[in-house]
Amino acid sequence: MRKRVGYIYTLPITLWITFFFVIPILIVFVFSFMKKKLNGGIVWNFSFADLSSLASGHITAFFSKVASHLTFDAYQSLLHPAFLKVVGVTLYIALAATFFTLLLAIPASYYIARSPRKNLLLLLVIVPFWTNLLIRIFAWITILGNNGFVNNILTSLGVITDPIQFLYSKSAVILVTVYTSLPYAILPLYSTIEKFDFTLLEASRDLGASNAQTMWKVFLPNIRVGVITAILFTFIPAIGSYAIPQLIGGTDSYMIGNVIARELTLNRNWPLASSMSLILTVITTIGIYLFVTLNSARIVRQESDVTAAGRSTNG
Amino acid sequence: MPLMVLIVYSFNEGKSSRWTGFSIHWYEELFLNSRTLWNAFENSVLVALASSCVATLIGTLGAIGITWYSFVHKKYLRMASYLPIIIPEIVIGISLLIFFAGLHWQLSLWTIFIAHTTFNIPFVLFIIISRLDEFDYSIIEAAYDLGATEFHALTRVILPMSIPGIISGFLIAMTLSMDDFVITFFVAGPGSSTLPLHIYSMIRIGVSPVINAISVVLIAGTFIFALSSKNIQKYMFKK
């Protein structure tokens, strides 16, 4: 009786997720292999006649009809240089954003962890996180826009006469991505640093290491888990970001997300949009997989290092 | 770093643009003239409430099932529930769009509702699972030994113990739903806008200080909400 009940509990969730999630994704997968119809949609020449032909044993006819629908067209278009360029831009922006986020987040979390005012500082970091993404983006538009804060100050100080175009460039996208990713990076870094034994730093300095060496060889390796998590939470969303490039980016900073949207809505090229989505998903999944295995590999290695050290001193 | 930017932009979110003077004009504009905006807001709240309720319901049941029972499709369900978190929002958005279009379903508030519930469920699920994991199953076994039926065990033992988890799941679902932009963008129909969508179109049209006013209101609201939820939690624990 117990076993049957488990089934009932999970029935609603299974049904819902399958119907509204798994199936749509599968549809996208299938669509990426199909031909595009003129006004959007795909070529779909099936009918019940085909099904009945399957039933009456004309298997080859059925499958050749299926095959006539399939094509690699969409994927071939992906090899077009314009698309590859977008992929390049996306990766570049995501990597740069991750790099700068780390650059800022590590010192910031270090400082917060050491500070007596931790809770207040943490709160200040989290509050923007609770605000809507669009509003944060809009805040940057107000600051960086042609009529914006920075330009106004510069003009009134007489430094420049015409406003500088800050927005609509790759750097602007990187900047805003960094800003929106910082809370996601600081929090895991902070929690790792919190557990870090700071006396190790003192010890290393007592043993004669310089500050730089201490940082590089003692501090960083020990917070590797936090760093990797921070990278994960910055890089992966950055690859899939849509709103930021759409609102802040210019023609040179189109990312994969924007292209997918454009193909689907403007060009009505469903197979193409599907194939791009699939590629995006694959990249994302590979990224996540890499990071997860890196993380557990490090943890295992650290633990085995510790046990090896323990054994060598005891044995 | 975030502190600085926060201060700068909160000072910017303001009452007037370009120093034409301090005025509350834009707030008036916000509250009196923006019927479409308030419609969108109502929609947001409606969808958020509905989808969070359903998601919490489904998710809680699912969580209970997963933690303590074995069933035929367990592995499938585990994998399927990880998916919405891994797959980029854009992909989820367009897959639902294509799905609805294929079924010839009209894009509307209902489609938004479905989309939101769909991506809310995994989060609720994970939160409650982690909460349930900390449970002492022997209490529930004791209930069975004492002769409780399945339904009894559920309502009198499990649910009351998991209320904090259910509430956090619900709140997270509400937040995710009210804030969501990308997925909603793809599945909304004409005439059914949510607050983030509306803000987005306002930003695209041009910079109007009304947006500044909204931002301040939203930030203040978030702040108040965060503080008050802390207080509510304290209150609940005192009981």
Kindly list the domain boundaries of chain B, sorted by start residue. Answer: 36-195, 207-239
- Angle of CA points A208, A214, A216, to nearest 5°: 140
**Domains in chain A: boundaries:** 45-71, 80-310
Question: Residue B77 and residue A14: Cβ atoms within 8 Å?
Answer: yes
A80-310 has which fold?
A: MetI-like fold (1.10.3720)
Q: Does B213 touch chain A (CB under 8 A)?
A: no
pLDDT tens digits for range B78-117: 777 777 777 777 778 878 887 777 777 776 777 788 888 8
- Residue B100 and residue B182: Cα distance in Å, rounded? 16
- Residue A199 and residue A201: Cα distance in Å, rounded? 5
Residues 10-49 of chain B with CB under 8 A from chain A are 12-13, 17-18
Residues 124-163 of chain B with CB under 8 A from chain A are 125, 150
Question: Residue B203 and residue A247: Cβ atoms within 8 Å?
Answer: yes
Q: Does A145 touch chain B (CB under 8 A)?
A: yes
- Nearest-neighbour CA in chain B from A208: distance (Å): 32
A122 CB neighbour count, 10 Å cutoff: 18
Q: Does B73 touch chain A (CB under 8 A)?
A: yes
For residue B44, the Cα-to-chain-centroid distance in whole angstroms is 10
This model of the complex carries an ipTM of: 0.72
- Give the model's pLDDT for residue A113: 74
Task: Report whether pLDDT(A100) > 80.
Answer: yes
Which residues neighbour A21 within 8 Å (Cβ) at sequence distance 6 or greater?
B80, B83, B84, B92, B118
- Nearest-neighbour CA in chain A from B219: distance (Å): 6
**Mean pLDDT estimate for chain A:** 71
Q: Does A72 touch chain B (CB under 8 A)?
A: no
Superfamily of domain B36-195: MetI-like (1.10.3720.10)
Average pLDDT (B143-172) is: 71
Question: Residue A140 and residue B77: Cβ atoms within 8 Å?
Answer: no
- List the single residue in B2, B182, B204 with the smallest CB-CB distance to A242: B182
pLDDT tens digits for range B44-86: 777 778 878 877 777 777 776 666 666 666 677 777 777 777 7
Positive or negative: CA dihedral B161, B138, B127, A11: negative
pLDDT tens digits for range A67-99: 666 666 666 666 777 777 777 888 888 888 888
